[in-house]
Structure 1
């Protein structure tokens, strides 16, 4: 059979076209592979140590330097009331007097018993003294009579001392009918009126008679988070503001540190003493406290934007031999644009300036 020249020509043309397509695809694949292996230019910087001085802002609460709620020791009635809310008082000043009629009869009974026991003791002592003097003459007084007189005298003396103690106890109870200021300050609460019944228990004891506060000095209490407890010490100065006078900055010094963490808040309670002679500050105010955190030593500090925070953790991206390496770190103190980090890093490491999750570990980069 004779070959068809046209069919041969068509077959040859199709083979050439197919071969060209295969060669083109291979070339594109090789180009893509080369393109994938090429290093990507990326902005980096050298890691350096620096001292980061920051300020920690925390809420604090002002409270009175001293505060006491005054209650009635015995069941009684309000007889006189000499102070009211806002009254300035001094230590030992009489604030109110109470009235308990039954204590008058108790005191009279105690005094009567005291006089009776005193008379018995005086008589038994005189009898003993006479017998003792007589016994100095041999054969006049038997030893048994003298011993009985001695025992009688000692018994009456004991009863006399008990009567004196009982009278002293009743007198002490009567002293509780006078309520006096335990320290100088201001009366901030009054919960009773003249004639009201008060007592140590039951109705009349639900609320204190008076509340006394010392406000010339206040306490400022702040809870310092665990990670910042090492930066603060006794004597450090802090500043704070309050909403009532937002344009004024107040100064206080750290006076007391608890030395232990609150198990619920994981923080340490710190107290500052605040002079308040001007009375601009009041107990119960919430203060915005600014606590300086000076750097004691140099640490690694990077821009905030160089930290990569993901669901898996906190990282920085390091260029090691032109390949990306993820390094887990922990955050320290922070400022507006910088942050302190701790991790397996050393000075002059190349870190990616603006990392993101699209940059993969092992990726070739050109710093």
Structure 2
């Protein structure tokens, strides 16, 4: 009994001690469930403010969050795409320049200009003394006068030959008239002699009378023959006279040709006399003077290699530069160009590409290019150098942002920026075009009036922000070269 009681009591004692332990186990499990529920609730409401998560602010935040908005620099789209430019060293050269050489050799008699003198087109700048050419001009002038006199003489011979021809023609007519007269006389004596012979045959008259008439008949025949020969002689004289006319006319042509030759020689001599005066080819300035009066000037034709003067036209100048190979395909005549010169700091001279070689130098792989600039005040002087920036291409359809506005790196023509919307920064995907390191082209994804955050390192998606004052933005933009 005692064992049983003990056993039963032992069993009771066991159950009495196990029930409190089960209650504690159930209580621990409930505490764990409550803790998990609290953790899930906190994660649901507070975890949305973690950087990088795109969740809508909680009602509590909307009702009155204590987070102070961050002041950020903002910028809007700038119309116009990125300009592709080529900035190269350029030098100013005269629009036109001429080295003036002497065409004739001689002593420099007069020099009317010196360095820096402004000259006009056609103005006499220097005179050379060359007596030989002066005398040659006088001689050729006399030759012209002599040749012209020979023409007058030849013309007179033509007139004389024509008169002789006319006289010969008259003589032919007279000879032919004499032939007719002698033919008539011969016919008369022939008939008369025939009658006398008939009378002699009938013994009506003596033979002596017939013989006398026969003599008259033969004399008439002889006269007729002589007149016919006179006609032939007159015609020969006429032909000779005509030939003399032709010769005289040819002599006139030759004499006139001789006049032309003489005049040509005189004109040539006068040209050499004119070469003794050296004139300016255009309006310009004297940029070089190599001789003084009294110096012997050797003509270029005789081996002279040093110009007497150099004239430069500078009312308009050429800026000479070289466009590198990578930019050559984009270069066109008419491209805008800005020229800055070291001698004139702070000045920008606007121009355009006027011409280029259309071929690259195989050594430097650059293309020779010229930019014309007006120079009415002559402040651009040949020899000045600086930088010529040629605008090769510029998109008018795209807009740009500073490159610092891009959040992260762009891939495949896509990128992200932060746009201020309802007081918070929102990451926005945009299409990107060209990027020159300073600005990027925005092809789509933004509206012109939208404000884009520049301080991308200070915000995340959903960060409360407010635009900084404009003057602060301007000062920050000046400090950062990436905002230019």
- TM-score bin, normalised by smaller chain: 0.5 to 0.7
CA distance in 2, matches of 1:293, 1:150: 73
Deviation at 1:51, TM superposition (A): 5.9
Residue 84 of structure 1 corresponds to 114
CA distance in 1, matches of 2:276, 2:166: 54
Per-residue Cα deviation, 1:35-72 (whole angstroms, up to 9, x for no partner):
xxxxxxxxxxxxxxx96534332111110001000000
CA distance in 2, matches of 1:120, 1:293: 72
CA distance in 1, matches of 2:325, 2:308: 41
- Alignment CA distance shift 1:201-1:219 (3 Å): closer
Picking from 261, 264, 268, the partner of 2:363 is: 264
Moved more, 60-69 or 122-131: 122-131
Residue 125 of structure 2 corresponds to 95
Per-residue Cα deviation, 1:144-163 (whole angstroms, up to 9, x for no partner):
32233233333222222211
- 1:255-294 to structure 2, matched below 5 A, reads 255-294=354-393
Picking from 126, 135, 139, the partner of 2:165 is: 135
- Secondary structure (helix, strand or coil) at the match of 1:246 reads strand
Q: Is the 8 A contact 1:197 1:204 kept in 2?
A: no
Deviation at 1:176, TM superposition (A): 0.6
Relative to the length of structure 1, the TM-score reads: 0.65
Deviation at 1:203, TM superposition (A): 8.6
Residue 220 of structure 1 corresponds to 319
Picking from 111, 116, 120, the partner of 2:150 is: 120
CA distance in 2, matches of 1:293, 1:146: 79
Q: Is the 8 A contact 1:198 1:204 kept in 2?
A: no
CA distance in 2, matches of 1:56, 1:135: 88
- Alignment CA distance shift 1:278-1:158 (3 Å): closer
Question: Structure 1 stretches of 5 or more lacking a match?
Answer: 1-49, 304-316, 319-332, 341-367
- 1:28-177 to structure 2, matched below 5 A, reads 52-137=82-167, 138=169, 139=171, 141=238, 142=240, 143-177=242-276
Deviation at 1:252, TM superposition (A): 1.3
CA distance in 2, matches of 1:160, 1:217: 47
- Secondary structure (helix, strand or coil) at the match of 2:99 reads strand
Residue 184 of structure 1 corresponds to 283
- Alignment CA distance shift 1:53-1:253 (3 Å): closer
CA distance in 2, matches of 1:337, 1:250: 24
- Secondary structure (helix, strand or coil) at the match of 1:165 reads helix
CA distance in 2, matches of 1:280, 1:160: 55
Relative to the length of structure 2, the TM-score reads: 0.50
Larger radius of gyration: 2
Q: Is the 8 A contact 2:285 2:313 kept in 1?
A: yes
CA distance in 2, matches of 1:136, 1:264: 85
Q: Is the 8 A contact 2:103 2:300 kept in 1?
A: no
- Alignment CA distance shift 1:242-1:120 (3 Å): same
Instruction: Say if 2:365 is the partner of 1:335.
Output: no
Deviation at 1:338, TM superposition (A): 7.7
Q: Is the 8 A contact 2:334 2:353 kept in 1?
A: yes
Higher strand share: 1
Deviation at 1:183, TM superposition (A): 0.2
- Secondary structure (helix, strand or coil) at the match of 1:274 reads strand
Length, aligned pairs only: 267
CA distance in 2, matches of 1:77, 1:334: 67
Q: Is the 8 A contact 1:72 1:209 kept in 2?
A: yes
Q: Is the 8 A contact 1:186 1:215 kept in 2?
A: yes
